[in-house]
Chain A
Amino acid sequence: MSESKKWKKINKSVKERPKVQEYKNWKELSPIPISLPIDGNIGTTGDWRTFRPIIKEGCNKCGICWMYCPEGVIKRKEDGTFEIDLRYCKGCGICAKECPTNNIEMVRESDIKDG
């Protein structure tokens, strides 16, 4: 009833653990199903977005959107203005709702002609 001990390598630091978990059969499995997070493990979540937040002219750089963003995808640039990382923004709209000057607009993705 010998089972592979391959899985025992998973309890390591992030650097040492295998980059991809590949199991060929049940003998190689760890005792329980787990996922080890890796950057972009499930793709860039920007694909999920239906509405895109667009910061309009007139932003007063208050930073409320940056604080409220649940995904941490709003970045403060050196000049104090904000930029949204559209690779990961899911389009939840919290930034637009919280913006005290109503300077963030949610625009349907299909209405945007991307360059």
Chain B
Amino acid sequence: MVEAQEDFVQKRETIIIKGNEAAAYAAKSARVQVISAYPITPQTTVVEKLSEFVDNGEMPGTQYIKVESEHSVFASVIGASKAGTRTFTATSGQGIFYAHEMIHWAAGARLPIVVAIASRGPAPPWNIWADFTDVLSQRDTGWMSAFCATHQEIYDEILMSYKVCEDHDILLPKFVAYGGFILSHTSKPVIIEDQDLVDSFLPSLPSEEGWPHIWMDPKRPMMFGNLIMPSSFYLEFRLKIQNAFIRVKEKIKKVTKEFEKIFGRNYGNGLVQEYKMNNVDVGVIIYGDLALQMEQAVDELRDQGYKVGMVKLRHFRPFPTEDIIEVAKKVKLLGVIDRATAFGSQTGGPVSCEVKTALHETQETAKVLPIINGLGGREVTLEQQKNQLKALIKFNETGEIPKDTIHGTLWDGLLEVE
């Protein structure tokens, strides 16, 4: 064990780092107490960077646990969190699927664990590149999930997440997802905030008493993970998780506002971030790294006189139903762009399904065109995104269904080999 340097204090600085390192820096800034690590591409460099921090004595008091699988990664952070510590880990794709059982355990135990996900496509065919199917397939586990579009957002979102998750009225775990390689392995300037400022923003680390609902203390014995008979309160505990998800929307909005006040960076209302959504005919809902490039596509088409705008979806769980209904009132046609799949669902795209569900009972709402693109890290160029917007405009004006619309969903960028 390396002696911790008690005098190490992070000062505000702008450094050029990879997305994964931004996640590691966020964990350091949040003073996480327990990190569990198992490598998986493209997440590996998150825990590698953290091991460096711990080894250099830059994270005094942090326990770094090396385990043998993702299942154990989650099992160990669950144990550490139950004991009343702030915990962190990171994983990807197949790792999430392997840990799926423990993911349910964490949510059922209402543990405020934050996990970074460098998203990658599920196998087979074997794939390690950006695709959000991994995190979106955890839809019903009781974990919150957020998407990041920039390197800075990874750092910021992880900090905000601890504040949201650890609220005693919330107590839910959260995934913070970003596209594998596209964000995880590219370098950009990221502002690492002053430690004192981060400390003042975040709730204080849990006291020795632990969380209010779960703790480990031989002097105050308690038993958890109990069996509940069908005639007892199982239904009711599930209702309480759903209620926490209703409450958390306001909490996210509040924390996002507070974050902007302290650190000066705006993320919309926290759940969604609108971009040029005034005076629009056609809008798109998009999430993850493609949202950043889409801003540029919107800018260029706006310059050409097209009335287009976009909404960056920041949270998938809780799903911002109310905000989506409001957005849909502003436009005639809404394109919903997924970089993920939900096989057998109405549209084939997880987010477009949610949007359609949200708008189902709304009068005078926009028509929805589901779009799926960029699966398995397939490059989506600026030109392609501009063409998507143009196809939406044409569809809105003339009713011409875009090419490659298959069973009502536009599969954009299908290969044509000559």
A-to-B contact residues, CB < 8 Å: 1, 3, 7-8, 10-14, 17, 23, 25-26, 29-37
How far is it, in angstroms, between the C-alpha of A35 and the C-alpha of B8 when the chains are bound?
A: 42
Inter-chain contact B221/A8, CB cutoff 8 Å: no
> B240 an interface residue at 8 Å Cβ cutoff?
yes
How far is it, in angstroms, between the C-alpha of A26 and the C-alpha of B232 when the chains are bound?
A: 11
How far is it, in angstroms, between the C-alpha of A17 and the C-alpha of B221 when the chains are bound?
A: 11
A33-B226 contact in complex given A12-B220, A26-B239, C-beta closer than 8 Å: yes
| Contact residue among A11, A13, A23 (Cβ-Cβ distance under 8 Å from B213) | A11
> B417 an interface residue at 8 Å Cβ cutoff?
no
Inter-chain contact B220/A30, CB cutoff 8 Å: no
Interface residues of B in 188-240 (CB under 8 A from A): 209-215, 219-224, 226, 228, 233, 236-237, 239-240
A11-B224 contact in complex given A1-B243, A31-B240, C-beta closer than 8 Å: no
9 contacts across the A-B interface (CB closer than 8 A): A11-B220, A12-B220, A32-B109, A32-B213, A33-B228, A33-B237, A34-B226, A36-B223, A37-B221
How far is it, in angstroms, between the C-alpha of A33 and the C-alpha of B226 when the chains are bound?
A: 7
A31-B213 contact in complex given A1-B246, A3-B243, C-beta closer than 8 Å: yes
> B46 an interface residue at 8 Å Cβ cutoff?
no
**Which residue on B lies nearest to A35, using beta carbons?**
B223
**Total residues of chain B contacting the partner, CB 8 A:** 29
**Which residue on A lies nearest to B211, using beta carbons?**
A11
Inter-chain contact A29/B240, CB cutoff 8 Å: yes
Inter-chain contact A32/B237, CB cutoff 8 Å: yes
A12: chain B residues within 8 A (beta carbon):
220
A29: chain B residues within 8 A (beta carbon):
233, 236-237, 240
How far is it, in angstroms, between the C-alpha of A12 and the C-alpha of B212 when the chains are bound?
A: 9
How far is it, in angstroms, between the C-alpha of A29 and the C-alpha of B246 when the chains are bound?
A: 17
A14-B219 contact in complex given A7-B213, A31-B244, A34-B224, C-beta closer than 8 Å: yes
> Nearest Cβ in chain B — how far from A15, in angstroms?
10
How far is it, in angstroms, between the C-alpha of A25 and the C-alpha of B237 when the chains are bound?
A: 11
Inter-chain contact B171/A11, CB cutoff 8 Å: no
> Nearest Cβ in chain A — how far from B108, in angstroms?
7
B213: chain A residues within 8 A (beta carbon):
7, 10-11, 30-32, 34
A31: chain B residues within 8 A (beta carbon):
110, 171, 213, 237, 240, 244
**Which residue on A lies nearest to B227, using beta carbons?**
A33
A34: chain B residues within 8 A (beta carbon):
213-214, 222-224, 226
B210: chain A residues within 8 A (beta carbon):
11
Interface residues of B in 355-374 (CB under 8 A from A): none
B243: chain A residues within 8 A (beta carbon):
1, 3
**Which residue on A lies nearest to B235, using beta carbons?**
A26
How far is it, in angstroms, between the C-alpha of A33 and the C-alpha of B221 when the chains are bound?
A: 14
9 additional A-B pairs beyond A26-B237, A33-B228, beta carbons within 8 Å, are: A1-B246, A3-B240, A29-B237, A31-B237, A31-B244, A32-B237, A33-B237, A36-B222, A37-B222
B209: chain A residues within 8 A (beta carbon):
11
How far is it, in angstroms, between the C-alpha of A3 and the C-alpha of B406 when the chains are bound?
A: 47
A30: chain B residues within 8 A (beta carbon):
213
> Nearest Cβ in chain A — how far from B101, in angstroms?
17
A36: chain B residues within 8 A (beta carbon):
221-223
Inter-chain contact A1/B247, CB cutoff 8 Å: yes
A32: chain B residues within 8 A (beta carbon):
108-110, 213-214, 224, 237
Inter-chain contact B226/A35, CB cutoff 8 Å: yes
How far is it, in angstroms, between the C-alpha of A32 and the C-alpha of B108 when the chains are bound?
A: 7
> Nearest Cβ in chain A — how far from B206, in angstroms?
11
B223: chain A residues within 8 A (beta carbon):
34-37
How far is it, in angstroms, between the C-alpha of A23 and the C-alpha of B226 when the chains are bound?
A: 16
**Which residue on A lies nearest to B240, using beta carbons?**
A31
How far is it, in angstroms, between the C-alpha of A34 and the C-alpha of B246 when the chains are bound?
A: 23
> Nearest Cβ in chain B — how far from A11, in angstroms?
5
A10: chain B residues within 8 A (beta carbon):
213, 222
A26-B236 contact in complex given A1-B247, A8-B212, A31-B213, C-beta closer than 8 Å: yes
> Nearest Cβ in chain A — how far from B142, in angstroms?
11
Contact with A along B166-191 (1 / 0, CB 8 A): 00100100000000000000000000
**Which residue on A lies nearest to B241, using beta carbons?**
A31
> Nearest Cβ in chain A — how far from B137, in angstroms?
24
How far is it, in angstroms, between the C-alpha of A39 and the C-alpha of B209 when the chains are bound?
A: 23
Inter-chain contact B233/A11, CB cutoff 8 Å: no
**Which residue on A lies nearest to B108, using beta carbons?**
A32
**Which residue on A lies nearest to B170, using beta carbons?**
A31
> Nearest Cβ in chain B — how far from A23, in angstroms?
7
How far is it, in angstroms, between the C-alpha of A13 and the C-alpha of B217 when the chains are bound?
A: 10
B110: chain A residues within 8 A (beta carbon):
31-32
Inter-chain contact A23/B222, CB cutoff 8 Å: no
> Nearest Cβ in chain B — how far from A18, in angstroms?
13
How far is it, in angstroms, between the C-alpha of A83 and the C-alpha of B107 when the chains are bound?
A: 47
B221: chain A residues within 8 A (beta carbon):
14, 36-37
Specify which of B109, B213, B219, B224 lies most central, judged by the most chain A CB atoms within 10 Å of its CB: B213
